Structure 1
Amino acid sequence: MSDINIDKQRKLLPIVAAIAFFMASLDTTSVNTIIPYLSGVFHAPLAVTKNIIIYYMIANAIFIPLTGVLCQKYSCRIIFCIALCIFTLGSFLCGISHTLNQLLVARIIQGIGGAMMLPVGRLAIIQTFPKKELVKALSLVTIPGLMGPLIGPIAGGMIATYLDWSMIFLINVPFGLVGIYFALHYFPRQSDKAVRIDRWGYIIFAAAIALITYALSLYSETQNYTPPTIIFCIGLCLLALYWVRSLYHDYPLFSPTLFKIKSFSIGILGNLVARLGCGAVPFMIPLMLQRLMGLSPVACGVAMLPLAFAAMIAKPFVSHSIKFMGYRNFLFINTILLSASYMSYCFVNEHSSWTFIAALMFITGFINSMQFTAMNTSTVLDLSAKRQPAGSCLLSTVMQVSMAAGVAVSAILLTLDEKIHLHAVPATHFHYTWFYLGCITVISAFIFMFMPNKRV
């Protein structure tokens, strides 16, 4: 590839990956908003209609673990194009569905494509850019992931109100086709046909992650914790079984030697803990605005725009901050600030001014955005080319599970506080929940203290 083509690749690849991230994120959050509306369209109980979300999540959980080894064997270019084709086809089938069962099948197809798009897009960035440019490139790609949950409720509400609900899905089709064209030209194509796939290991690991993800989704929707706890424990047992298998298998899906790399093992653990708070934000803030301020879901989406705006303008500051402080110091300080930003919502009540709430959301969005980029980059920074596919894939899996866990943990904390403080005003329950989330998040700051203090 000539220098001009390499330059074009480095300019266009992050944009293509970012568009794919945005499509998946926007689709998921906009669909979540209109579930009650679709329940009426298909004349189905809300509990059944929610399978539109759950089936997509399970499809994601099953196929994310496979993407790393597929990219290694067939190249990011081929797998990303296949992922876009499947997601675009799934979106089209969702848009033309006439029954709920048809929509559920289409969502499974869409979920398979969405599962592969995110980790493959990140891996392509890691393979293409040198380490000194990695933070900047990943910063561009993570912006859509932060904006999707904020714009999604607005888009979903407006489309359902003024257009046909099918447009939420059909709008993905032209973007998907454009993405396929550019991916064919600018995604990396290095591959190793000799790579072998541990099929049984994949089945065990995928089943474990699917069960854990499903259990976490149930935690956030019920007060009867026995069924999800049983499912969660079965998932953990399968995860333990996979770990034992990987120790003795010649070609494991995720080699245990990955965790001998200090930055990766600390990054994975730090991500897992920190994202419990990060994952709670898109759930807690809209719920707080609805219950305390009486806003509709669409109005909540508009009110949360300071989060998205702050996430966008924070990106240029990340690389400069890490260059000055190093990854370890930056993550330690930023995580403490992130914890403090969550605890600051303890001062919000039904009488708070919109200026005050908007300022808090702006601060949270700014710090959150830098946290995502720094955590993701530091985790994969020291991986060799051979270990990058598995490492990036495992990071994506941890991100999905921990974000789902964030919603589950915040829902459980909120429910428990409502039982403990029976006669307290609604704001009090949110105050305690935000405080606990801040306490959980600050733990990850001390995990990141063990991270090597490398600079960009």
Structure 2
Amino acid sequence: MALKASAQTLESTKKLLPIILATAIFMQMLDSTILNTSLPAIAKDLDESPLNMQNAIISYVLTLAVFMPVSGFLADKFGTKKVFIFALFLFGLGSLLCSLSQNLTHLVIARMIQGVGGSLMTPVGKLALIMSFDKKELLKAMNFAIIPALIGPVLGPLVGGYMVDYFSWHWIFLINIPIGILGIVLSLKYMPDYKSPIIDFDLKGFLIFAAASLLLSISLELFGNTVHITPVLMLMLSGFLMLYFYYRHAARDDNPIFPLNLFQVRTFRVGILGNMVTRLGISSIPLLLPMMIQIAYGQSAVTSGWIVAPMALTAMLGKSAVIGILNKYGYRATLMTNTMIIGALICSMAIPSGNASIYWYIPIIAVLGFFNSIQFTAMNSISIADLREYHTSSGNSLVSVNQQLAIGFGIAFGLIVLKIFEGDVKLIQNEIHNAFRYTFLVVGSLTILSGFIFRRLHFKDGDNMKSERADKTNNK
């Protein structure tokens, strides 16, 4: 009887755990993007310059970069359940404090509290998912949980625009509270509590790596918002220098926060590198396309939000198709082909002229959402496909940090390329729309080239992630 109850509990956990993680990811991704369209309204209410309001975004990003590396250790020491619930509570508390902010300083402090919660939520939730599912079940579970990462950035600007126009900016933060409460209630009953007997914390390694993440994040935020490039380059070089110091430290330490032998696992190494380079192009599109629609075509923020909204719907279709595609073609062929298709779609955004209808972009962005869904699921799952149990925690944390930095690099890269073309008046013939067209060609071409990174995968890599149904089909 006890065994039956235990089996039922395990089955309930497996059903609801992806939903719990999806709730956390959706809340975090929505919050990360919903603020962008609301900054002018917040600045006016707080009697601040809109230019100074970037501190509210930067403070959140920097807090994520600093505290994400410690998420694995905290989960190992205190348990995934306690840390995840604490993270949800912190994120909800930070959201409440954001809505109550009376000035920019209050808002920045509240955003940092949100950042601490956000830095733990997704990595710890993913760790619980990885530990709960067999390799053959993990792809399906992760595939479901990752969809909010595609929907959040699309809905964020749209929801933010409507809330500011029809309610007040306070609601862009208050919307997180009921979602967070739902996550806590579900977690109290269904979140498993995994711990590790190894709780030796690499404080020196954490400080070095956190400094590297901090310096790189600051340089990325400043790249697209400054004319003085030399100090920014110095910050970025300092960040890479700290990464080198971490490499030296990890080579000598017995238990570094991110062991170097993680990179001896080919699928992890290719997954990390592919994630970083591929997102240079992919991450810039949700920023560049709405910006072009507003600046070059003179449309409203709400209109630009509706133009990119179909990406969320087609991401659902991608979610339902990706497992079958991976089971049939394998990770190597799927990732190579899919990355090049995404690059070609980004390049195709350069085709319409300044006189073309903005609705020309809807089919492109819709198809892009489908292939993005396949890309993120495949890259995330191949990265952890062959990790040993003792590497799962640190490897998962490093994947999360890498994704955060990759998204920042992608946004900064897109803005830098745009500014370069914008400054060449002769090349763009004094038409700002042409600057966007050339930018799409550059980031799209880079994305196509990044597909060759996945050639380093073996054609059988990821076979241990295939579903049992696929195995039975192949054995017939």
Normalized against structure 1, the TM-score is what?
Answer: 0.97
Q: After the TM superposition, which residues 214-233 of structure 1 pair with which residues of structure 2 at under 5 Å, given as runs?
A: 214-233=218-237
Could you say which residue in structure 2 is the equivalent of 1:183? 187
Q: Is the 8 A contact 2:307 2:359 kept in 1?
A: no
- One-letter identity of the residue aligned with 1:123: L
Question: Is structure 2 residue 447 aligned with structure 1 residue 444?
Answer: no
Could you say which residue in structure 2 is the equivalent of 1:415? 419
Q: Is the 8 A contact 1:273 1:443 kept in 2?
A: no
Deviations 1:10-61 (A, max 9, x none): 1111111101111111112111211111111111122322100000011111
Could you say which residue in structure 1 is the equivalent of 2:8? 4
Q: Is the 8 A contact 2:30 2:152 kept in 1?
A: yes
Share of identical aligned residues, percent? 36
Could you say which residue in structure 1 is the equivalent of 2:59? 55
Provide the C-alpha distance between the structure 1 equivalents of 2:359 and 2:180, rounded to a whole number of angstroms: 38
Could you say which residue in structure 2 is the equivalent of 1:274? 278
* From 199, 208, 211, the counterpart of 1:207: 211
- One-letter identity of the residue aligned with 1:274: T
Q: After the TM superposition, which residues 43-442 of structure 1 pair with which residues of structure 2 at under 5 Å, given as runs?
A: 43-420=47-424, 421=427, 423-442=429-448
Deviation at 1:361, TM superposition (A): 0.6
Deviation at 1:354, TM superposition (A): 4.4
Provide the C-alpha distance between the structure 2 equivalents of 1:260 and 1:185, rounded to a whole number of angstroms: 38
- One-letter identity of the residue aligned with 1:98: Q
Provide the C-alpha distance between the structure 2 equivalents of 1:224 and 1:180, rounded to a whole number of angstroms: 45
Deviation at 1:373, TM superposition (A): 0.6
Provide the C-alpha distance between the structure 2 equivalents of 1:54 and 1:368, rounded to a whole number of angstroms: 26
Provide the C-alpha distance between the structure 1 equivalents of 2:134 and 2:430, rounded to a whole number of angstroms: 54
Deviations 1:132-182 (A, max 9, x none): 222211111111111111111121111112212211112211221221121
Q: Is the 8 A contact 2:128 2:194 kept in 1?
A: no
- One-letter identity of the residue aligned with 2:448: V
Q: Is the 8 A contact 2:99 2:174 kept in 1?
A: yes
- One-letter identity of the residue aligned with 1:269: L
Provide the C-alpha distance between the structure 2 equivalents of 1:173 and 1:23, rounded to a whole number of angstroms: 9
- One-letter identity of the residue aligned with 2:393: P
Deviations 1:341-375 (A, max 9, x none): 11111112333334431111111111111101100
**Secondary structure of the corresponding residue to residue 196 of structure 2:** coil
Deviation at 1:425, TM superposition (A): 2.2
Provide the C-alpha distance between the structure 2 equivalents of 1:432 and 1:413, rounded to a whole number of angstroms: 9
Could you say which residue in structure 1 is the equivalent of 2:45? 41
**Secondary structure of the corresponding residue to residue 168 of structure 2:** coil
Provide the C-alpha distance between the structure 1 equivalents of 2:223 and 2:156, rounded to a whole number of angstroms: 23
Deviation at 1:443, TM superposition (A): 2.5
Aligned residue pairs total 456
Structure 1 unmatched ranges of 5 or more: none
Provide the C-alpha distance between the structure 1 equivalents of 2:136 and 2:357, rounded to a whole number of angstroms: 43
Provide the C-alpha distance between the structure 1 equivalents of 2:78 and 2:420, rounded to a whole number of angstroms: 48
Deviation at 1:191, TM superposition (A): 0.8
Provide the C-alpha distance between the structure 2 equivalents of 1:45 and 1:289, rounded to a whole number of angstroms: 24
Could you say which residue in structure 1 is the equivalent of 2:470? none
Structure 2 unmatched ranges of 5 or more: 467-476
Q: Is the 8 A contact 2:307 2:361 kept in 1?
A: no
